[in-house]
Amino acid sequence: MSDASPSIQVLSVVKRYGSLAAVAGVDLSIARGESVALLGPNGAGKTTLVEMIEGLIHADEGEIRIDGLSWKTQAGAIRGKLGTCLQDAKLPERLHVEEILELFCSFHGRGRDRVEELLAMVELSDARKQMAGKISGGQRQRLALATAIAGEPDILVLDEPTTGVDPAARRQIWTILEGLRSRGATLLLTTHFMDEAERLCDRVVLMEAGRILDQGTVPELLARGQASSLDDLFLRLAGRRIVE
């Protein structure tokens, strides 16, 4: 495998549900160490695309490769490289925060030192003995992120990582993701928030009706669309505003 191969490569991928093409022929390449946001209204196909990249569902057509490996034939090797944080992560509510991290670290052969590192990284050291079902929404999202990075994955995929959390928790999550990015991790995230995409990502991919409308850096997209903001740009491209 060449060091030049993309972290994530989506090749003419289609996913149908009955007569609806939730993803309708998407091509996307994400370089190693790049941070990319998928932006679009509800129903644009973002989550379906992310779930295929995560290996949770399979494409009807096309192929997805992770670090040069194919989900079709090398799923075991891919799982060791990929960390995922779902939109609504379900964690054992009656386990303590610390116990959950011990469990996830054990999946990756990691011990106590990694648990302590994660607790500090996501600022949950003081909540270590609280049950997951009793912590706040922002704490739960940070805990879910900690489980996703327990094995120090090279590639992290996050589906709306800050939806439903308060502004302070949102900023905390941003800081964690910026730290991972500075260490060279590849990030792919879906979001409804323009400021989140601008702050965290090198490139923004605009989706609508299962297709990619446009992609590029924020300045490139605004210049091409003659728009003053990403929200205004999406209104011009898709004919309707992104709903937060």
Pick the CATH number of 1-79+155-162+185-244 from 3.40.50.2020, 3.30.70.100, 3.40.50.300, 3.40.50.150: 3.40.50.300
Its pTM stands at 0.86
pLDDT digits (tens, 9 = 90+) for 77-96: 998 899 998 877 778 889 99
Q: What is the largest CA-CA distance in the chain?
A: 52
pLDDT digits (tens, 9 = 90+) for 143-190: 999 999 999 999 999 998 888 788 888 898 999 999 999 999 999 999
Angle CA(159)–CA(242)–CA(83) in degrees, nearest 5?
10
Structural contact between residues 44 and 53, judged by C-beta atoms closer than 8 angstroms: no
Domain boundaries, the chain: 1-79+155-162+185-244, 82-152
H/E stretch holding 13 = strand 8-17
Cα 108 to Cα 114: distance, rounded to the nearest angstrom = 10
